Chain A
Amino acid sequence: MNSSTISIGVCVAGEHALELEEFAAACGIEVSFVRVLVEEGLLAPAVERPAWRFGGEELARVRRICRLQRDFEANLQSVAVMLDLIDEIERLRAQLHRTGIAAS
């Protein structure tokens, strides 16, 4: 790979959001598992119609789901609870951060 070439980074959002198959490949999971995650309420597509599209936040979320599942041998319900708690902690941290109080 020639290091003087500039790789164009395209932000995975909006018109560059991923289609279902691309998204599953990027997450390293099967398409059917993406459907399960959506059905079980752990994941929501960034765009619903005309076809599902997924953005960078969803990609990071699924990779987190896979990590939690793997590292704790957790079932999807436990992962869902962990995700809710992690989201809540991140929301509170962001609130502290906005007001200039460092969250340790």
Chain B
Amino acid sequence: MEFKDYYKALGVERTASDEEIKKAFRRLARKHHPDLSKAADAPARMQELNEAYEVLRDKEKRAAYDRVGQGAQAGQSFQPPPGWDSGFEFSGGPGEFGDEADHSAFFEALFGAARRGAARGRPGRGFDPGQARRGQDHHAKIVIPLEDSFHGATRQLTLHSPEMDASGNVTLHERTLQVSIPKGIRAGQQLRLAGQGSAGFGDGPRGDLYLEVEFEPHARWRVDGRDLYCTLRVAPWEAALGAAVNVDLPDGTVEMTVPAGSQTGRKLRLRGRGIPGSPPGDLYVLLEVVLPPARDDKARAAYRKMAEDLAFDPRANLGADA
């Protein structure tokens, strides 16, 4: 397992005061919070910050961390010495900082046992060892191609979670799930997989796994809720005179009529051709008129002839000062 330098994560000195640690955390949290930042690595950064702050803000955990961390470098292979935490008692309750999956294997190795111990004696929940309690629900994200929502699909998903064996060693446990994706699923919705969460306590049932669905970006389609948007490029004569053109859909092709007199930006709707469901979404086609390049004499002559034959001033309606 890799040693984590929590001071470096927060950008503070090892001698930093509680106040400096808090300030550093707040500043970095505003920058990297996944709800505020669109950066792809924001969730990972925030997890790192939370973990560092959880340890360094707590006098007991910080002292323990400092003791095991003497001389260790970030990224180095690291095993805590046996019995390293004797003499420390971690009073912080469980679940202060979210799920187990929110912590690195390094954190779990140092503080996981204490946390789990506390979880079993969690005050207020009235848990006694003979009593059954349902396992925790877990959360993850799944990124699927848009086409899955049209056809339904089965996708393989790999989940990592730190788990502790009977002798107290932490390993990053990897498991693979085959997940059926129902037809008509939309981005932002959640799939519930019964019994795929944490094991229950006593005879309690397992928790569930919730998967938040996200679509892979698509070269052709833009998705908004149930509706699909795409841009259709048309020639000037198609837009002016009207035309029948073929439009590709995620589940086939449809012939669409471009009405005569269309301009760039015109929005055409194909009702019910968006994401399937009841009701299904709609498909919006945005027209973009593309001019043929005037590269040769023939093309230039055609444009000149249009200029002569058509009394057309595109700026006619712009007002006197334009």
Contact = CB atoms under 8 A, between A and B. Distances in A.
Contacts, number: 111
Nearest to B157: A7
A100 B315 CA distance: 26
Interface in A5-51: 5-13, 16, 25-26, 28
A7 B206 CA distance: 14
18 contacts: A1-B196, A3-B175, A3-B177, A6-B179, A8-B180, A9-B181, A9-B192, A10-B192, A10-B193, A11-B182, A12-B192, A16-B192, A28-B136, A57-B189, A68-B33, A71-B50, A72-B30, A97-B224
A70 B222 CA distance: 34
Contacts of B191: 9-12
Interface in B145-185: 154, 175-182, 184-185
Q: How large is the interface on B (under 10, 10 to 19, 20 to 34, 35 or more residues)?
A: 35 or more
B229 to A, nearest CB: 5
Most buried by B among A25, A56, A68: A56
Interface of A: 1, 3-13, 16, 25-26, 28, 55-57, 59-60, 63-64, 66-68, 70-72, 82, 86, 94, 97-100
Nearest to B208: A26
Q: Is the interface of A mostly helix, strand, loop or mixed?
A: helix
Contact of B178 (A4, A10, A71): A4
A62 B210 CA distance: 14
A11 B148 CA distance: 14
Interface stretch (B65-73, B91-99, B299-307): B91-99
A28 B137 contact: yes
A97 B222 CA distance: 7
Given A25-B137, A68-B35, A100 B231 contact: yes
A60 B212 contact: yes
A10 B152 CA distance: 12
B190 A56 contact: yes
Given A1-B177, A86-B36, A94-B224, A12 B29 contact: no
A13 B189 contact: yes
B210 A8 contact: no
Given A9-B181, A70-B97, A71-B50, A56 B189 contact: yes
